[in-house]
């Protein structure tokens, strides 16, 4: 994990395409609310798919508390959409196939 990403800090403001292909920044998605950012290896990974199925239930509770959820996947745009639809998610997924793991670099 990068040393500048710690609890309570502001995320680096990456701009990536969302599941619809629209470029979005993390600050735009967060707004003034808390944000949970999930880094995913992609829909091919059974563990990540299972985790997102669990997040589907948790997301309902997060919305009540005005907490936002965003997933960054290393899948391409088509695969990101398949992953999102496959787990039934309705939060924003961002696609980062060329720079996968960028947030992990130190």
pLDDT at 105: 45
Question: Alpha-carbon distance 92 to 29, whole Å?
Answer: 8
Instruction: Give the chain's domain count.
Output: 1
* Residue 81, SS3 per DSSP: helix
Rounded CA separation 30/51 (Å) = 21
CATH number of the domain bearing residue 93: 3.40.30.10
Q: Assess if residue 4 is contained within a domain.
A: no
Helix (H) or strand (E) holding 56: helix 46-64
Find the domain containing 73 and state its range. Answer: 34-98
Question: In percent, how much of the chain has pLDDT > 70?
Answer: 89
Label residue 81 by pLDDT band (50, 70, 90). very high
Position 17 in a domain: no
| pTM assigned to the model | 0.83
**Is 15 domain-assigned?**
no
* pLDDT recorded at residue 14: 82
Mean pLDDT (whole number) for 90-95 = 95
Give me the pLDDT at residue 102, please.
53
């Amino acid at each position: 994990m990068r040393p500048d990403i710690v609890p309570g800090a502001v995320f680096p403001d990456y701009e990536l395409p969302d599941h619809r292909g629209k470029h979005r920044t993390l600050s735009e998605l967060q707004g003034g609310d808390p944000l949970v950012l999930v880094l995913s290896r992609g829909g091919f990974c059974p563990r990540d798919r299972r985790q997102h199925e669990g997040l589907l239930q948790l997301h309902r509770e997060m919305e009540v508390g005005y907490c936002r959820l965003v997933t960054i996947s290393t899948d391409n745009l088509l695969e990101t959409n398949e992953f999102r639809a496959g787990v039934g998610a309705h939060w924003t997924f961002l696609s980062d196939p060329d720079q996968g793991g960028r947030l992990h670099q130190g």
